[in-house]
Amino acid sequence: MLMHQGIGLDAYNAMPQRRAVHAVYECCGSVSLAADLARDRPYRNHDALFRQADALLFAMAEVSIDSILQAYPSVGRRPRSARSQCEQCAVWDERPEVMAQLDAHARSYEQQFGFGFVMYVNGFGAADVLAAMVDRLHNDVDTERKVVRNELARINRSRLERMLGPEGGYHNW
Residue-wise pLDDT for 8-35, tens only, equals 999 999 999 999 999 999 999 999 999 9
Mean pLDDT along residues 131-160: 96
Task: State the pLDDT confidence band at 43, using cuts at 50, 70 and 90.
Answer: very high
Q: Which residue has the higher pLDDT, 91 or 8?
A: 8
**106 to 31, 53, 75, 111, 166: CA distances (angstroms):** 26, 27, 7, 9, 35
Mean pLDDT along residues 78-101: 72
Task: State the pLDDT confidence band at 84, using cuts at 50, 70 and 90.
Answer: low
In this predicted structure, the answer to whether residue 155 has a pLDDT above a threshold of 60 is: yes
As a whole number of angstroms, the distance between CA 122 and CA 10 comes to 27
Residue-wise pLDDT for 96-144, tens only, equals 998 899 999 999 999 999 999 999 988 788 899 999 999 999 999 999 9
Burial of 86 (0-12, 13-18, 19+ CB in 10 A): middle
Phi, psi of 87 (to 5 degrees): -105, 160
For residue 173, what pLDDT is reported?
Answer: 46
Global pTM? 0.88
In this predicted structure, the answer to whether residue 1 has a pLDDT above a threshold of 50 is: no
Q: Which residue has the higher pLDDT, 82 or 50?
A: 50
In this predicted structure, the answer to whether residue 92 has a pLDDT above a threshold of 90 is: no
Name the average pLDDT for the chain. 88
